[in-house]
A = this chain, B = another copy of it.
Amino acid sequence: MSSSTTPTTVYGRPVTTDGVPNLYAGSTVTPWQPPVPGIDNLGISSVDTFAVPGVGEYTVPFDGFVRVVRSEPTSQEWSNAEVYTNLIEMKMVGECEELGRITVTLNPSCLSAGQIRTPFDPYAGEGPAAKACRMAVGAIFDMPKLGMKLINKEPIILTIDDVRQIPPAGSPGKGQIYRMLPLHDSRRLEDAPVAYVTSLRFTMGGYISPEKMAAV
């Protein structure tokens, strides 16, 4: 299902999908235990705010799915384990009156990549140390009502804190956007940005079924 375009922009470590099984609804997750490699098919919801200079600021709720391939963990022990991830597919759909229907997918020019590891500034609390999850993403925001596909040239850094299981299904996360993330018209990538993302909050869902994915 993922694109065969070779990315020219690589935001992190590549992770192979060769021989890695797809995990759908019904798969189980064990807390505090590094899992064997898998392709996690997960629901996701997000609330993004777009600023269009001179026009206005619009907050749009999105729903959809992501497909994330996970590497072999670097250790069987939770506290030492690092896991590398690539976002290999994404589809989220949202709508607001002014911007119309918006479909968000991955930009095939980018390898969207991330990792899960114990942070250097650990979380407070007893018991095993929770991990930090981060993913750098290149996306396409298709806005047919405006006749534009918008593309980010700085990655969107999605983070989840206090990760106690892999994948961090059900966890809230945040796009680490400082004030504004420029979005460019895909037909005029060298021109000035036409819009900005000013805020992004998301929640990872659980494993979903191929039928639910097809219905997004």
Q: In the complex this chain forms, how many copies of it are found?
A: 2
In angstroms, Cα B178 to Cα A157, docked, is 9
A204 close to chain B: CB less than 8 A: no
Count of residues in A whose CB is under 8 Å from the partner chain: 39
A11 is an interface residue with CB less than 8 A from chain B: yes
Q: How far is the CA of A136 from the CA of B193 in the complex (A)?
A: 14
Quick check: B182 and A10 within 8 Å, CB to CB? no
Q: Tell me, yes or no, whether A67 is within 8 Å of chain B by CB.
A: no
Q: With A178-B176, A180-B119 in contact, is A13–B192 under 8 Å at CB?
A: yes
Which residues of B are found within 8 Å of A134, using beta-carbon distances? 178-180
Q: Per-residue CB proximity of A179-192 to B under 8 Å, as 1/0? A: 11010100001111
Whether the pair A154, B155 counts as a contact (CB closer than 8 A) is: yes
Say if the beta carbon of A30 comes within 8 Å of chain B: no
Q: Is A165 an interface residue (CB 8 A)?
A: no
Task: Decide if A179 touches B119 in the complex (CB within 8 Å).
Answer: yes
**A198 at the B interface (CB under 8 A):** yes
A159 to B178, Cβ gap below 8 A?
A: yes
The A9-42 residues at the B interface (CB cut-off 8 A) are 9-14
Contact with B along A118-148 (1 / 0, CB 8 A): 0111000000000010101000000000000
28 contacts between A and B (CB under 8 A): A9-B9, A10-B153, A10-B189, A11-B153, A11-B154, A13-B184, A13-B190, A13-B191, A13-B193, A51-B120, A82-B192, A84-B192, A113-B153, A115-B193, A117-B180, A119-B179, A120-B180, A120-B196, A121-B198, A132-B179, A134-B178, A134-B179, A134-B180, A136-B153, A155-B155, A157-B178, A176-B176, A176-B178
